[in-house]
Amino acid sequence: MSYDNDNIFAKILRGEIPSTRVYEDEETLVFMDIMPRADGHCLVIPKTPCRNILDAAPGQMNACMATVQKIARAVREAFDAEGVTIQQFNEAAGGQEVFHLHFHVLPRREGESLRP
């Protein structure tokens, strides 16, 4: 499957639509999910075009994983979380809605379910 330059996260990367950016480095960007399923729910994306994990180069995966770990530790502190869930979906059949590679980082507390 090909990469669509007009997907929502490509527009966020280009600054064409607003987002709440919480971290960025040379290779990755992190911003808050617009419909958070937990307090502190954010999304880690590569800055270069990539549809999903099935399409990702090793460098994109390495960069995203390093940022996911950094953000997981940061949200655990910031949201006083007891745990952190990482979610990631590939293609429509796999639950993906936005076709730019992304990782959900979700702070969790005992007994609290993710919002739908």
The catalytic residues are: 102
The first and second tokens of residue 56, run together, are: 């990702």
* Interacting residue ranges for ligand 5GP, rule: CB under 6 A: 8, 19, 31-35, 89, 95-98, 102
Least distance (Å) between residue 59 CB and ligand 5GP? 22
Write down the least CB distance from residue 63 to ligand 5GP, Å: 18
Q: Which amino acid is at 108?
A: R
Closest distance to ligand 5GP from the beta carbon of 89 (Å): 4
Q: CB-wise, 79 or 89, nearer to ligand 5GP?
A: 89
For ligand 5GP, give the closer residue by CB, 28 or 96: 96
What are the beta bridge partners of residue 103?
A: 44
Q: Which residue, 66 or 86, has its beta carbon nearer to ligand 5GP? A: 86
